[in-house]
């Protein structure tokens, strides 16, 4: 019998880049949040590990056997193999932590079937800086490279959210490389809503330089009833938060008619 897990789309409600580190990474302060929708993974016990990828964005994965799902299975030893089908609903290279979210879902699948090793957090961090936060998929503050996690107030749970992507992939590396190196200050303190409202995304300017269509998305989201709209992560996906579902759905319908070429996802924050 198959069991399923959703790989919840990850968004950065705020992302402050503080400095470039000598190891090539960047010192970050960010507020991670998760949408109650995303990729879907189904797993069955098998004689060996297998990964099958399907869905709208399956073509964005160059090598299904070398993606984060396969790599996650490799670091979580088990007595039985798992045959996993990954339904790729989230765009690739989109600032939604899609691969990391998939890895987090694999951790939860293995946890249900076999339990996790005591050192699961360090194993997750070796797969990617944002994989540890994706395992639990809760609103948290991330520091360092994003692996130092602090539980944040959960006051935004249930908030209606709209995700919009111009269907233009944007790799993370070039965006960080284009960051101007200026420290614009620490992440605010307070409730999750206060941090989000008072925070910023320091990667917006370099992302816009590399991917101008993001500007069109931000302009479209600003012309609505959202109380906050911003680019997520390194882009190109942007999000908008609303006080009620009706306002979110009205904005989504308006954008679907105006820009049928864009990718949209509606949901709520977890």
Enter the tokens of residue 150.
């602090």
Residue closest to 243 by CA, chosen among 225, 265, 264, 219 = 225
Catalytic residue among 39, 49, 102, 130: 130
| 62 is a catalytic site residue | no
Half-sphere exposure (Cβ direction) of 149: Cα atoms closer than 13 Å = 21
Tokens representing residue 36 in the block: 């109650």
**Given the DSSP bridges, would you call strands 50-54 and 81-87 parallel, antiparallel or unpaired?**
parallel
Catalytic one among 10, 71, 88, 202? 10
CB 267 within 8 A of CB 37: yes
- For residue 55, count other CB atoms closer than 10 A to its CB: 16
Distance CA 129, CA 147 (A): 5
Instruction: Map residue 269 onto helix, strand or coil.
Output: strand
b/e for 22-40, b at 16 or more Cβ within 10 A? eeeebebbbbbbbbebbbb
Name 54's bridge partners.
87
Q: Residue 18: phi, psi to the nearest 5?
A: -95, -40
130 catalytic? Reply is yes
Distance from C-alpha of 270 to C-alpha of 8, rounded to nearest angstrom: 9
Cα angle at 262 between 257 and 266, to 5 degrees?
Answer: 80
Give the residue numbers annotated as catalytic, written as ranges: 10, 130
């Amino acid at each position: 019998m198959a069991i399923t897990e959703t790989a919840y789309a990850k968004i950065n409600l705020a992302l402050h880049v503080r400095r470039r580190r000598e190891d090539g990474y960047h010192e970050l302060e960010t507020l991670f949040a998760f949408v109650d929708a995303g990729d879907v993974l189904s797993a069955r016990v098998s004689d060996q590990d297998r990964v099958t990828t399907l869905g709208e964005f399956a073509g964005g994965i160059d090598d299904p056997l070398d993606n984060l799902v396969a790599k996650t299975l490799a670091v979580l030893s088990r007595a039985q193999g798992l045959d996993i089908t990954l339904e790729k609903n989230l765009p690739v290279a989109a600032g939604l932590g899609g691969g990391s979210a998939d890895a987090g879902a694999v951790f939860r699948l293995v946890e249900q079937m076999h339990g996790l090793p005591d050192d699961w957090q360090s194993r997750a961090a070796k797969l990617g800086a944002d994989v540890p936060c994706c395992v639990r998929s809760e609103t948290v503050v991330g520091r360092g490279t994003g692996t130092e996690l602090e539980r944040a107030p959960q006051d935004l749970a249930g908030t209606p959210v709209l995700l919009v992507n111009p269907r233009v992939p944007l790799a993370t590396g070039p965006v960080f490389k284009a960051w101007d190196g200026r420290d614009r200050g620490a992440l605010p303190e307070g409730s999750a809503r206060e941090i989000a409202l008072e925070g910023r995304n320091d990667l917006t300017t370099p992302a816009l330089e590399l991917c101008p269509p993001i500007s069109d998305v931000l302009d479209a989201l600003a012309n609505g009833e959202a109380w906050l709209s911003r680019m997520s992560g390194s882009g190109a996906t942007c999000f908008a938060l609303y006080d009620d579902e009706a306002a979110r759905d009205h904005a989504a319908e308006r954008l679907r008619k105006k820009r049928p070429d864009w990718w949209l996802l509606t949901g709520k924050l977890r």
